[in-house]
């Protein structure tokens, strides 16, 4: 399975990060351990939501959508 996940910064509420992975718990731990240059500044992170996909391409397309303007609005309304 491939997952698209949304994290929220606990130190800076309202700051979100969207990513994709095949192992959500491992990836969240990596973000909180400072192994991602994009999220290290706003640690710690908590998992807000994730969506599972069987198809890797669909997961990547959904991740790209959530990173777009309309996708951010969608995520804010529904998550």
Domain ranges of the chain: 2-78
**Strand, coil or helix: 57:** helix
| DSSP E strands, the chain | 2-9, 16-21, 45-53
Q: Global pTM?
A: 0.93
The CATH code belonging to domain 2-78 is 3.40.1440.10
Q: Which two tokens mark 78?
A: 């529904």
pLDDT given at position 20? 98
pLDDT given at position 44? 97
**Strand, coil or helix: 28:** helix
Would the pLDDT of 16 be above 90? yes
Count of CB atoms within 10 A of residue 25's CB? 9
Task: Tell me what the mean pLDDT of segment 17-27 comes to.
Answer: 98
- How confident is the model over 35-53, as pLDDT tens digits? 999 999 999 999 999 999 9
Task: Tell me what the mean pLDDT of segment 17-35 comes to.
Answer: 97
Number of H helices, E strands in the chain: 3, 3
């Amino acid at each position: 399975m491939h997952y698209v996940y949304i994290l929220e910064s606990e130190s800076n509420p309202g700051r979100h990060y969207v990513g994709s992975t095949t192992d959500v718990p491992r990836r969240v731990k990596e973000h909180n351990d400072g192994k991602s240059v994009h999220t290290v500044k706003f640690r710690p992170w908590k998992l807000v939501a994730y969506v599972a996909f069987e198809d890797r391409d669909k997961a990547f397309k959904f991740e790209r959508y959530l990173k777009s303007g309309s996708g951010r609005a969608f995520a804010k309304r529904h998550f």
